[in-house]
Structure 1
Amino acid sequence: MDGTEAIEPLSRRAAGRSPGHTDPVISLRDATLAYGNRELWRGLDLDVRPGEFLAVLGPNGSGKTSLLRVILGRRPLTAGSLTVLGRAPGHAHTGRHIGYVPQHRSLPAHTMVRARDLVRLGMDGHRWGPWPARRADRHRADELLAAVGVTPFADVPLGRLSGGEQQRVRVAQALAADPRVLLCDEPLLSLDLHYQRTVTALVDRRRHAAGTAVVFVTHEINPVLGMVDRVLYLAPGGFRIGPPGEVMTTSVLSELYGTQVDVVHVGGRVVVVGAPDAAAPHNNHGNGPNGTGPNADRPS
């Protein structure tokens, strides 16, 4: 099985809707986020609707990961308002309907939780006490593990898997929650081209079949360019929201960065030239050259 095959529960397969025709699942109004005296973004108005694929781009330190933390209820807004699935962020009921793929961090070698166990936690981790595995849950876990290509490692402790294998298991775990909202923080890091395509196809299939809204933080838009409905580009000079063809332009990015930035289209790919830190490669911990990332106590 690959990422293009149907794995959604039958109850959700008819739920897919085109973005823009239903109430938003994420709604930000006049939102501002600051760390001390450093303001990342101000006056952000954003609605994300069921089935929409929103790519969040920008340089390190622009607040991309911080936006996901705000949506998850792990970081309060400095000003403005946010609702997620009609409730305040962090609400217990809301959390059950959010799938989250964090930035990759290698797990310690002594981590003995199996890949299969982590995916199962995505289904019933919100429950109290031990629960016997239902046949349907076991079957769904097997389907998800197969979809991301880790069936041979299903019963291997996570600490013994490679970084790319661990990341694919995290994707399977996020989808196991049957999410209405899927938050992805640089999910393609540590993955080779084949598995980048597998994961992006799986995410795209999910949002079309089940109406799941996708917020996809990335430094590189090309792997998802054909799937993206809108881009939220965060930069030192503010932000822009719109279709990729309207945001990923020389004039818009030059204005956001306050310096000349050239956007070139080559063979169906977007190449950004001259944006400070915009295309800087990450290491396996997700930290860019300026030290921001999930392991640093700074915005990203």
Structure 2
Amino acid sequence: MTVLRARGAGVRHRRRWLFQDLDLDVSPGEVAAVVGPPGSGRTTMLLALAQRFRLSAGRVDITGTAELGHVPGVSEPESVLTVAEHVRERMLLTGRRPGGETALHGLDPAARGFELSPYERQVWGLVLARISDPQVVALDGVDEGLDAGEREALWRLIGETTAEGVAVLITAREVDEKRVSTVVRLHGRDDREGDEK
């Protein structure tokens, strides 16, 4: 069974393609990684795969829903809200009754958005994304600003998420291919299309 299918997907910006002719299938519990240097279009591809960015060509179909985790400039913590307030707000927005236990995975419920480290922002995004029980979760820059221990802890949380049958889309500069099901590589401004593993 496939929860995400892309066929001939592409995004054009001005006179160049950020990516094109992307065919991708992601099943429940799989991790698909979009890998490339800054400016290569990986965040745009992530957003397009999560149906949050308009395609110029092709299509992306998702069985169920996709939620964004932390995506800088798109899905970030409100600086003055606490972690607990973010959770309560998300529960209200998704029609869930506040008051139940939500696993915070070590986050301080009283920490305000501006106080969160890069690792804590990734955890924050994953916690909020999971509240609505999506079939797909998208996380941007899972290797940026994290030390080795934090990366390992984040991969454990990603593993817990996929073990529950949720597909996870990530972007990174580089990734251990043993940890993921699929890698789409973007090489930078001269890219004409991604190379799929």
**Which TM-score bucket, shorter chain as reference?**
0.7 to 0.9
Partner of 2:98: 133
- Identity value in percent: 26
Q: What corresponds to 2:185 in structure 1? A: 233
Q: 1:160 to 1:59 in 2, by over 3 A?
A: closer
Question: In the alignment, is the contact (CA less than 8 A) between 1:98 and 1:177 conserved in 2?
Answer: no
- The partner residue of 1:201 within 149, 156, 160 is 156
Judge conservation of contact 1:104–1:189 (CA < 8 Å) in 2.
Answer: no
**Larger C-alpha radius of gyration, 1 or 2?**
1
Distance 1:34 1:237, change over 3 A: closer
Query: 1:42 is aligned with what amino acid?
Result: Q
Contact between 1:104 and 1:167, CA under 8 Å: does it hold in 2? no
Aligned residues: 192
- Secondary structure, aligned partner of 2:81: coil
Q: Is the 8 A contact 1:55 1:228 kept in 2?
A: yes
Matched, 1:32 2:10: yes
CA distance in 2, matches of 1:125, 1:107: 15
CA offset at residue 239 of structure 1?
2.0
Greater length-normalized contact order (CA 8 Å, ≥ 6 residues apart): 2
Deviation digits for residues 79-135 of structure 1 (CA, Å, limit 9, x no counterpart): 1122122xxxxxxxx5xx323223346867xx33111121334434234xxx7623x
In structure 1, distance between residues paired with 2:97 and 2:24: 41
Alignment check: 8 A CA contact 1:182 1:213 kept: yes
Residues 183, 154 of structure 1: CA spacing in aligned structure 2 closer, same or farther, 3 A cutoff? same
Q: Which amino acid aligns with 2:13?
A: Y
TM-score where L is the length of structure 2: 0.83
Shift of 1:185: 0.6
Q: Say whether residues 1:181 and 2:104 are aligned partners.
A: no
1:233, CA displacement in angstroms? 1.2
Does the CA-based 8 Å contact 2:18-2:192 persist in structure 1?
no
C-alpha separation in 2, matches of 1:31 and 1:132: 37
For 1:71, the equivalent position in structure 2 comes to 49
The aligned counterpart of 2:34 is 56
User: Residue 175 of structure 2 is aligned with which of 211, 221, 241?
Assistant: 221
Uncovered stretches (5+) of structure 2, i.e. residues with no partner: none
